[in-house]
Structure 1
Amino acid sequence: MAGLNDDPDRYAYLAEGNAKQARKRIAAKVVIRDGLGRVLLVNPTYKDYWDLPGGMVESNESPSKGAEREILEEVGIVVTIGRVLLTVWIGPHGPWDDQILFVFDGAALTPQQLADLRVVDPEISEFGFFQPDEAARQLRPDMAERLGQALDALSEGTTTNFV
């Protein structure tokens, strides 16, 4: 049986198609809690609102690995990313093309992880834990809605999809 690399014309055809296909920006956010059920938020220096920890996934990086990397870069801890709580397609807005947002369960932090939390990224001015209703008031309205959807999915054992 001939492989893909055995037919250079077919390989070139597929490579050309791959180069023309749409590329989606992927964002990965994480719902991380403390032992009291409060939600971890970070305060980005470049935004008007607080945000869930996480960020943009890099090229050829899975959304969960991107989320783990972003948490380490932002607040200096290693977390194990759990299941997807929410996926959302976000249409083009402002200067941005469309994107797909994944919101993952980051579980409740251990006492050691809580002790190790620190601002690492200069783009983050501070972090804090907030009760869900308090967190919603700190977030941009669309992110507050997404946090509510993610927390609902967490408590129901489901995944919510708006893609």
Structure 2
Amino acid sequence: MRPTPDDPDAWNAYLAEGNRTQARKRVSADALIRNPAGHVLLVKPTYKPGWDLPGGMAEANEAPEAALTRELREELGLEATLRDLLVVDWVPPHGPWDDQIAFIFDAGALDDAHAARLRPHDDELSEAVFYSVDKALELLHSRVRTRLGAAIQARQAGHPMYLHDGRTALSSHRDPE
């Protein structure tokens, strides 16, 4: 017989077992950060090849936006105010990795003085550089490139985009009901 909420100890043990056996998702949260010229901030991680968007992986039970603000503070010394959610991308298992939910948030534009002072603050990054959108798209790995393109499109459209492995998963143009 399945326990009910009338027996809180048995009910919580039952729920804990379900929680233990359900899938866990890896979560990443990145930021679209611009300078006044509209260039996009990219960072160069020391632990993997190539360029990336600023941000990182969420810790256990950490909200995506909290993970992003923590990563920006730790890696760049940046106290960012997140404006809008731009992209949610479900990434299927690849290589040694399980699936992942990747978020991109709009963290706005830095003024020229702040953008010029931006430097890596820990050993996880070797560089932080603003690039034109075209150059940024050229430098990024294909999965991140498609996410950045979607983030720019979502910012212009004024609504977030849901992607399935970098491809639009749901139509943004719905028929009226």
TM range (shorter): over 0.9
> Is 1:18 the counterpart of 2:19 in the alignment?
yes
Output the amino acid matched with 1:156: A
**CA separation of 1:152 and 1:8: change in aligned 2, threshold 3 A:** same
Match of 1:109 in 2: 110
Match of 1:8 in 2: 9
> Is 1:150 the counterpart of 2:134 in the alignment?
no
Identity of aligned residues (%): 47
Distance in 1 between residues matched to 2:13 and 2:117, nearest whole Å: 49
Please provide the CA RMSD for this pair: 1.7
Cα shift at 1:5? 9.0
- Matched positions, count: 161
Output the amino acid matched with 1:160: M
* Secondary structure of residue in 2 paired with 1:149: helix
> For 1:72-91, what aligned pairs fall within 5 Å after superposition?
72-91=73-92
Distance in 1 between residues matched to 2:101 and 2:114, nearest whole Å: 29
Indicate conservation of the 8 Å contact 1:76/1:116, yes or no.
Answer: no
* Secondary structure of residue in 1 paired with 2:66: helix
Indicate conservation of the 8 Å contact 1:28/1:64, yes or no.
Answer: yes
* Secondary structure of residue in 1 paired with 2:121: coil
Long gaps (5+) in structure 2: 165-177
Cα shift at 1:148? 0.6
Long gaps (5+) in structure 1: none
* Secondary structure of residue in 2 paired with 1:161: strand
Match of 1:134 in 2: 135
Cα shift at 1:45? 1.3
Match of 2:71 in 1: 70
Cα shift at 1:133? 0.3
Cα shift at 1:132? 0.4
**CA separation of 1:155 and 1:6: change in aligned 2, threshold 3 A:** same
Question: Can you list the C-alpha shifts for 1:69-105, whole angstroms capped at 9, x where unaligned?
Answer: 1111111110011211000000111111110000100
* Secondary structure of residue in 2 paired with 1:42: strand
Match of 1:60 in 2: 61
Output the amino acid matched with 2:86: L
* Secondary structure of residue in 2 paired with 1:19: helix
Match of 1:32 in 2: 33
Indicate conservation of the 8 Å contact 1:41/1:52, yes or no.
Answer: yes
Cα shift at 1:14? 0.7
Distance in 2 between residues matched to 1:55 and 1:5, nearest whole Å: 42
Distance in 2 between residues matched to 1:16 and 1:49, nearest whole Å: 41
Cα shift at 1:136? 0.7
Output the amino acid matched with 2:132: Q
